[in-house]
Amino acid sequence: MTLAVPDIATVAAVLAPDVSTAQPARSVNFIRIKPGRFEEFIVLQSAHLERIRGTVPGVVGGRMFVAPERSAVILVSAFETAEHAQRFRQDPRFVEHLERAASLIESTEAMPVELAYEIGVI
């Protein structure tokens, strides 16, 4: 009986995660804005986006939806991996943004989500 020992490249390929099937890490944040502070919140949020645009590793994309009565927003964010999302949440620029926005926010609820289905482009 002969035992074949695979080379290091073969072992690495077998142990490597299958990135072709990896799902992005997504989160949904529901933010209720304090009465009379909506425009200020939008200005702050837009400034933060401009400050970090193109500088956050692993960002896949994001959307902000605004309630018609201008009292709440829903933020949907996607990152390549959960690690990218975690690094972003620890980014000093993001932490500082949360501190500045806190006085404008009545309540917030965040949760990680997985894609159940997708139709069209939003």
pLDDT, one tens digit per residue, over 81-118 is 999 999 999 999 999 999 999 999 999 999 999 989 98
What residue type is 17 in one-letter code?
P
Specify the higher pLDDT residue, 121 or 18: 121
- Phi and psi at residue 99, to the nearest 5°: -65, -40
Q: Tell how far CA 64 is from the center of its chain.
A: 12
Dist CA 9 CA 42 (whole Å):
50
The two tokens of residue 14 are 């077998």
pLDDT, one tens digit per residue, over 72-89 is 999 999 999 999 999 999
Which segments of 1-122 does DSSP mark as H helices, in order?
A: 8-15, 38-52, 82-90, 92-101
pLDDT of the residue at 21: 61
Dist CA 29 CA 45 (whole Å):
13
Let me know: does 94 contact 110? Beta carbons within 8 Å.
no
Q: Report whether pLDDT(8) > 80.
A: no
The two tokens of residue 106 are 């009545």
pTM above threshold 0.85: no
pLDDT of the residue at 17: 57
Confidence of residue 3 (pLDDT cuts 50, 70, 90): low
- Phi and psi at residue 117, to the nearest 5°: -160, 165
pLDDT, one tens digit per residue, over 22-71 is 679 999 999 999 999 999 999 999 999 999 999 999 999 999 999 999 99
Q: Report whether pLDDT(7) > 90.
A: no
Domains of the chain: 22-112 (3.30.70.100)
